[in-house]
Amino acid sequence: MLSIPCPYCGPRDVTEFSYGGDGNVRPPTGPDAASEAAWSAYVYLRANPRGVHEELWQHSAGCRRWIRVTRNTLTHEMHGSAPARASAAAS
């Protein structure tokens, strides 16, 4: 059974989590912020990477906090997790 390492609760079954999408997508800023094309890309365009990838997950059946999980999309191996807010502030 696949488990996700919640930084607050420890390893928990994947069924306790809700997928929140790509962890590297940011809203447009600067001169592109008013561009319809930039917002369309932000809302609709997603990469479909094969390999190690950062994702946002919510521990919806646990502490309900958002976390940033590093996962291999090919093998589903978990490489770690961190609070989503701390990672966002650091980048």
Residues at the site binding Zn ion, with contacts judged by CB under 5 A: 6, 8-9, 59, 62-63
**Alpha-carbon distance 87 to 38, whole Å?**
23
- Give me the least distance between CB of 34 and Zn ion, in Å please: 38
Amino acid at 7: P
3-state helix, strand, coil in the chain (%, to 5): 25, 35, 35
- Give me the least distance between CB of 73 and Zn ion, in Å please: 22
- Give me the least distance between CB of 83 and Zn ion, in Å please: 10
Q: Which is nearer to Zn ion, 53 or 59 (CB)?
A: 59
Q: Which is nearer to Zn ion, 46 or 64 (CB)?
A: 64
Q: Which is nearer to Zn ion, 1 or 37 (CB)?
A: 1
Cα–Cα separations (whole angstroms), residue 50 to 47, 53, 75, 76, 81: 9, 8, 9, 11, 19
